[in-house]
Amino acid sequence: MPAAIPPRATRRPRATRSAPPLGSLTQAAHRETAACTHCGSERVTQLSMSLTDGTPVRFVSCHVCEERSWMSASGPISVDAVLDRTRKQ
């Protein structure tokens, strides 16, 4: 007669963790109100990031007119300036 297999221990259910909001790309309730500086549309995607030189910027891309802009604390930054600031020294 084969040996009896002991019963499996029951596991406790894992604690439920609430996920942080996913941000402007997926959940309208967590979006910051932003508008395109070119056409005024609120259909924009915006991303906050730090450039290679440490400059904090916000990239905004419009879904209507396809305008793309970069903003720093001191104001708009040109694409050329963004590229200069992202080059490794």
Domain positions in the chain are 28-74
- Whether 23 has a pLDDT exceeding 60, the answer reads no
pLDDT tens per residue across span 54-89: 999 999 999 999 999 999 999 999 999 999 988 876
Torsion of CA 53, 56, 80, 42, to 10 degrees: 160
pLDDT at 30: 56
β-partners of residue 71 are: 58, 76
Contact, 72 vs 81, CB < 8 A? no
Q: Label residue 24 by pLDDT band (50, 70, 90).
A: very low
pLDDT tens per residue across span 26-51: 555 656 677 888 999 988 888 889 99
